A and B are shown apart, each in its own frame.
Chain A
Amino acid sequence: EAQVTQNPRYLITVTGKKLTVTCSQNMNHEYMSWYRQDPGLGLRQIYYSMNVEVTDKGDVPEGYKVSRKEKRNFPLILESPSPNQTSLYFCASSFGANTGELFFGEGSRLTVL
Chain B
Amino acid sequence: GQQLNQSPQSMFIQEGEDVSMNCTSSSIFNTWLWYKQDPGEGPVLLIALYKAGELTSNGRLTAQFGITRKDSFLNISASIPSDVGIYFCAGPGNNDMRFGAGTRLTVKP
Within residues 91 to 106 of chain B, which ones have a CB less than 8 A from any CB in chain A?
A: 92-97, 99-102
Interface of B is mostly: loop
B1-41 vs A, CB cutoff 8 Å, 1 = contact: the mask equals 10000100100000000000000000000010101000011
Chain B residues in 8 Å Cβ range of A104: 42-44
Contacts of A106 in B (CB 8 A): 40-42
Asked if B96 contacts A58 (CB within 8 A), the reply is yes
How far does the alpha carbon of A43 sit from the alpha carbon of B94 in the complex, in Å? 16
Q: What's the minimum C-beta distance from A69 to chain B, rounded to whole angstroms? A: 20
Binds B, one of A14-22, A75-83, A93-101: A93-101
Q: Interface centre among B44, B48, B90, B95, by most A CB within 10 Å?
A: B95
Give the bracket for the number of chain A residues in contact with chain B: 20 to 34
Question: 18 interchain pairs (CB within 8 A)?
Answer: A33-B96, A33-B97, A42-B6, A42-B99, A43-B88, A59-B1, A90-B42, A92-B97, A97-B96, A98-B31, A98-B92, A100-B31, A100-B48, A100-B50, A100-B92, A101-B45, A101-B48, A104-B42
On A, residues with C-beta under 8 Å from B are: 4, 33, 35, 40-45, 48, 50, 56, 58-59, 90, 92, 97-98, 100-102, 104-107
> Which B positions have Cβ atoms within 8 angstroms of A?
1, 6, 9, 31, 33, 35, 40-45, 48, 50, 88, 90, 92-97, 99-102
